[in-house]
Each structure stands twice: as C-alpha cells, then as structure tokens.
C-alpha cells in the first residue's frame, strides 16, 4: 500500500494541483474584475500557492462582491432611507436650487451621478467655514463640543495621546457629566501606536467607544473618514486627525498644513448617516431616530447646496472617485488639486492628462516634505505625461501638506478625506463634500494661491535629472501602490 502511494505520488500531486488551479481560476474569473489584476493574481496563486493564498486573503478579495452577497447595501438602505427621505423631502427646494445652479454652470451630470449612486440630492449647509489649519479647526471644535446639549458623535482615523487629546477629553468628560451622550469610533489599525488611557477613562465615564475594521482579513482596508457631529446640527470633516502634530507639525515637520470644513444645517444629516451606518456595523445600535436626525434644523440665510460622496472597498459605485473623474472632465478653465500623495488610478490620471492637453489649467499641489517616502517616490512616476501635457506640479515646502481639496473652474469646491492615491480611491472608507457655490470656491482658490507662495514647482527638467537608479526605485514603489 505504501509502495503504491509512493508510485502514484506524482500523479496525485498533479491531480491536486490541477484541482487547486481550477478552483483558483473559477474564483478569480467569477470576480469579474479588471483583467490585468485577475491575471496577476492567477499567476501568483498558481506559482506560489501558499504565499499567494496569504496575500490574496489579506489584499486580494473582492469585497464589493462579498458585500453584495451578504446584503450589506440593502441592509444599509433599509436602515437609513426612511429617516433620510424625510430630510430630503423637507428641503426639496434647496435640492432644486442646487440642480439649477449645476445646470447653469454645466455640472448637471455631476449632481445626477451623486443622486443616482448615493440617493443624496443637494442639501443646505449653513454657516460654512473653511478651516485651513489645525489651530483654527480645534479652537472652533472645542467651542462646539463645550456647547453640546444632547449628543456628540466622533469618528477619526487617528486619535493620538498628547496635550490636545487631553484638552478634548476634558471637555468630553464635562459633557458626559451633564448628560450628553458621547460616541467615538476610531480606526483600529490607525490607532494601534497610541495609548488608550484617555479613551478608557471616557468609556468608564459613560462614553461609548468603539474601534472600526478590527477583523484580521480587513487589515488592509481602513476607515479613513473624519467626522464630528454635535447635536445632529453641527458637523466637521476634512483631512485633520486628532493630535498636537496636526496643529504645529510635531517632531517631524516645521508645520502642518491641512484643511477641514465645518457647517451646520440639514447637510449635517449626511455626515450623521455615514457615522450611523458604520456605528451599526460595530455596535448593532441603530441611531436613525429624531435624537440624531432632528425634525428641523436652524436655517440662517447663509446656506449653500452641498452633496456628500463616499467610497469604500465594499461600495458598488465608489461615488467619491467617480465624482472626481466627472467633475474634472467637465472643467473648462482650471482644475486645482491638493493632496499629500499622488498615486492615481488610470481614470483620474487620464482625465487630468486629457484636461491639460485640452488647455485646462491643471495644477497639483502635494507635500514636498513626505511622511511616507514610498508613496512620495511612487508619485514621481506619474509626473512625466502630466507635465508634458501642460499640467503643473508643486511641492509644498513650508511643512507637511495633508489637505484633500479640489476646485473646478473657480466655482465648484470639494473638501474631504480622500487622497489622490490608490488606497483612498479603492481601499479606504472616505468621504468628500461638494459645495455648489461660487463664493466658497473662490475663497478656497485664494487659499490655494497663498499656498503657492510656499511651494517649489516641479519642472520637467527636474524630472529628467533623476538618475537611472532613482527612476528604478520610483517604479518599484509604484508596483506596491495598493499597499503604500
């Protein structure tokens, strides 16, 4: 019997490998993803089975398809739609105003895209404040937190442990003693390096503290959103996490340049919705009630129509990414972008190059003082065609530039959490707020022009001066773009 097994061993191994390869082929083909990615995984899983399976488990699974099979989107719609539909119906006039604004300026397709994929018509955002520094953001946030009367919902990618967090936690402790409900949802991986003593004290005092995306097989897919909603009527989002370095640059940088935005009114319901959906996945608590979504919102005269887009590895449409592509494709005069990293997907990159070739003023501002050199090196592999097409690239040199913003033609503005890199565009949970308002766009263009004074322009001559070794290093970093 043993001799027969040894004699037939090669045939059995060949049969086992064939069955394994056939199973891999069926799984990958059924995923119906980009053929290049499918073939790459097929080669890896065929020639390095054990290593390939480990990589596929952590980095290659089709989470959109898995989400559809598990009914994630249907569950979210059933939970959110009744509450959100009531909000949309109450402010239908502002939705019409936003659509009219878009039609006059040629952005009807953008508004329709967001409505169809996110079911989110324009809503009024009131008292909008663009906050181009951590100092401004946290000064205002402390005031708003101290005035909270019923609920505070907080979600961040990073919550550090330092002087700033101590000040914020002191305010939250005082609010808890006054009966305010406090919920905190922070990304698990993003917060691994930081001590949790303050958060534990908040939890002991009655705050509900959770960490998102804790599953081992989702370690590569993170919640990068930053959301604060106070009493359901005041909201914050943007690029700034919680830590003293986001105010002064910390030990690594001479300064930190970032952009957040704060607004009030019905549009805050969109931020609350995104928080509530993730909260339900981590705690099974349903927040879709009048306590978190008021039946009426304060409505001062200074309101503008906005739409909120979101994206994640599970999303079918990845609306935030698609909105960028569509808006840039509509540009007639200029596209001004700020992003600390630049490792774009093909659609966004080709849209930028096409716009530059068509004479649109395409400008990309990214950090010249990197925190992640791998992503910084990879970005340089995308500079050549964009510069040759007429685009312009700037390195911000005064400190670390972490803002995620874009203006189109000086009348359309978006601010949020999404970098122009593969992780944000395809893997992370992100959000962007689109402001359909000329005045806000011009206000941000002025900030962009002021930032240019602290920039060095990256020229074609500088790119040509790279050594062959540096060019190879950059290309090698680009291969790992999904892992950067």
pLDDT digits (tens, 9 = 90+) for 343-400: 999 999 999 999 999 999 999 999 999 998 999 999 999 999 999 999 999 999 999 9
266 in the same domain as 341: no
Considering the candidates 226, 260, 330, 428, report the single residue annotated as catalytic.
226
335 in the same domain as 195: no
> Is 372 noted as a catalytic residue in this protein?
no
Considering the candidates 76, 137, 260, 402, report the single residue annotated as catalytic.
402
> Is 231 noted as a catalytic residue in this protein?
yes
Range(s) of the domain holding residue 266:
68-110+122-305
Each residue's pLDDT tens digit, 95-112:
999 999 999 999 999 999
159 in the same domain as 219: yes
Q: What is the CATH number of the domain that holds 349?
A: 3.30.870.10
372 in the same domain as 232: no
Q: Which residue has the tokens 């962009």?
A: 448
375 in the same domain as 339: yes
- Residue after which a domain boundary falls, among 305, 340, 375: 305
Each residue's pLDDT tens digit, 169-200:
999 999 999 999 999 999 999 999 999 999 99
228 in the same domain as 194: yes
Considering the candidates 187, 212, 231, 258, report the single residue annotated as catalytic.
231
The answer to the question of residue 5 being in a domain is no
77 in the same domain as 40: no
The answer to the question of residue 135 being in a domain is yes
Average pLDDT across the chain, whole number: 92
382 in the same domain as 448: yes
- Residue after which a domain boundary falls, among 242, 274, 305: 305
> Is 409 noted as a catalytic residue in this protein?
yes
Is residue 299 over pLDDT 90? Answer: no
138 in the same domain as 254: yes
Q: How far apart are the C-alpha atoms of 304 and 85, rounded to whole Å? A: 20
> Is 224 noted as a catalytic residue in this protein?
yes
328 in the same domain as 292: no
Considering the candidates 76, 260, 273, 404, report the single residue annotated as catalytic.
404
The answer to the question of residue 115 being in a domain is no
Counted domains in the chain: 3
> Is 402 noted as a catalytic residue in this protein?
yes
Q: What is the pTM of this model?
A: 0.93
More confident call, 362 vs 51: 362
Considering the candidates 76, 224, 429, 444, report the single residue annotated as catalytic.
224
330 in the same domain as 218: no
217 in the same domain as 89: yes
> Is 428 noted as a catalytic residue in this protein?
no
């Amino acid at each position: 019997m043993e001799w027969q097994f040894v004699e037939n061993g090669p045939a059995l191994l060949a049969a086992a490998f064939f069955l394994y390869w056939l199973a891999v082929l069926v799984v990958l083909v059924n995923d119906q993803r980009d053929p290049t990615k499918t073939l790459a995984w097929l080669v890896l899983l065929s020639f390095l089975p054990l290593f390939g399976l480990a990589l596929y488990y952590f980095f290659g699974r089709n989470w959109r398809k898995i989400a559809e099979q598990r009914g994630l989107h249907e569950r979210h719609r059933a939970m959110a739609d009744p509450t959100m539909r009531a909000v949309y119906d109450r402010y239908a006039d502002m939705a019409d105003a936003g659509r009219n604004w878009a039609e006059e300026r040629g952005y009807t397709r953008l508004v329709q895209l967001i409505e169809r994929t996110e079911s989110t018509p324009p809503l009024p955002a009131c008292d909008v404040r663009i906050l181009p520094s951590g100092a401004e953001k946290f000064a205002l946030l402390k005031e708003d937190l101290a005035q909270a009367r019923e609920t505070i919902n907080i979600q961040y990618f990073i919550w550090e442990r330092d002087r700033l967090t101590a000040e914020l936690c002191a305010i939250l402790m005082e609010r808890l003693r006054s009966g305010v409900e406090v919920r905190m949802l922070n990304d698990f991986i993003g917060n691994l390096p930081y001590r949790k003593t303050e958060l534990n004290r908040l939890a002991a005092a009655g705050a509900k503290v959770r960490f998102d995306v804790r599953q081992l097989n989702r370690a590569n897919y993170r919640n990068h959103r930053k959301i604060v909603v106070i009493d359901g009527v005041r909201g914050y989002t943007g690029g700034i996490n919680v830590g003293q370095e986001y105010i002064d640059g910390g030990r690594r940088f001479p300064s930190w340049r970032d952009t957040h935005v704060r607004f009030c009114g019905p549009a805050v319901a969109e931020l609350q919705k995104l928080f509530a959906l993730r909260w339900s996945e981590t705690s099974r608590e349903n927040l879709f009630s009048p306590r978190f979504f008021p039946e009426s919102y304060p409505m001062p005269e200074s309101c503008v129509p906005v739409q909120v887009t979101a994206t994640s590895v599970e999303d079918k449409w990845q609306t935030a990414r698609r909105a960028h592509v569509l808006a840039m494709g509509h540009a007639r005069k200029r596209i001004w972008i700020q992003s600390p990293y630049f490792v774009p997907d093909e659609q966004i990159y080709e849209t930028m190059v096409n716009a530059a070739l068509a004479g649109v003023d395409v400008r990309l501002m990214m950090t010249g003082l990197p925190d992640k050199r791998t992503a910084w090196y990879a970005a340089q592999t995308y500079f050549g065609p964009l510069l040759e097409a007429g685009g312009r690239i700037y390195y911000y040199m005064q400190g670390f530039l972490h803002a995620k913003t874009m203006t189109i033609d000086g009348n359309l503005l978006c601010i949020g959490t999404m970098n122009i890199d593969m992780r944000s565009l395809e893997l992370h949970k992100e959000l962007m707020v689109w402001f359909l308002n000329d005045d806000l766009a011009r206000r941000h263009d002025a900030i962009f022009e002021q930032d240019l004074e602290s920039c060095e322009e990256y020229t074609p001559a500088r790119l040509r001066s790279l050594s062959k070794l540096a060019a190879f290093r950059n290309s090698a970093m680009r291969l790992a773009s999904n892992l950067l």
